[in-house]
């Protein structure tokens, strides 16, 4: 979880991803080209995108974001403490565990860069409850 602040609006921005050090298996929070928050889950290079609720982040505003992987079929995105969307793509076929967290761009290729500021970045090895 962290706070993010968009400095300038770009067409498509990867905000946060957790991957296995490849482009094959990735959980990603991004701002899509339509300016909506999106969860992308990739398994064996095939992606499933789920758009968020009504929040389209604006430039110059701080937002709190949390991603929670509850199970192999549940990745949840919380924005400002409210559930925005859930991606139910099954990830049981992933062979390698996620070992790399990236913020502000996509993978080591540095594509889909985000002109953002991050603050108070925290990561846990278990999903927190909404109260936590």
Torsion of CA 113, 6, 126, 19, to 10 degrees: -10
pTM exceeds 0.75, yes or no? yes
Q: In whole angstroms, how large is the CA radius of gyration of the chain?
A: 14
β-sheet with 26-31: strand ranges across: 46-51, 37-43, 26-31, 13-19, 100-103
Is residue 108 scored above 90 in pLDDT?
A: no
Is residue 94 scored above 80 in pLDDT?
A: no
- The conformation of residue 128, written as its DSSP 8-state character, comes to P
The two structure tokens encoding residue 18: 């957790």
Strands 100-103 and 13-19: antiparallel
Is residue 7 scored above 70 in pLDDT?
A: yes
Could you read off the pLDDT of 14-46 as tens digits, one per residue? 888 887 777 778 888 888 877 888 888 888 888
Lowest average pLDDT, out of 1-5, 9-13, 49-53, 72-76, goes to: 9-13
Token look-up 């990745």 returns: 75
Mean pLDDT score of the chain: 81
Distance CA 51, CA 123 (A): 23
- % of the chain beyond a pLDDT of 90: 3
Is residue 109 scored above 70 in pLDDT?
A: no
């Amino acid at each position: 979880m962290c706070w993010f602040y968009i400095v300038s609006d770009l067409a498509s921005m990867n905000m946060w991803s957790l991957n296995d050090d490849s482009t094959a298996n990735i959980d990603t929070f991004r701002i899509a080209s339509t300016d909506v928050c999106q969860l992308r889950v990739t398994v064996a290079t095939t992606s499933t995108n789920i758009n968020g609720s009504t929040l389209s982040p604006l430039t110059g505003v701080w937002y709190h974001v949390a991603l929670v992987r509850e199970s192999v079929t549940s990745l949840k995105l919380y924005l400002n403490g409210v559930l925005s969307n859930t991606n139910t793509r099954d990830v049981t076929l992933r062979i390698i565990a996620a070992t790399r967290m990236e913020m502000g761009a996509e993978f080591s290729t540095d594509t889909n860069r985000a002109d953002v500021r991050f603050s108070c970045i925290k990561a846990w090895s278990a999903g927190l409850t909404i109260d936590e």
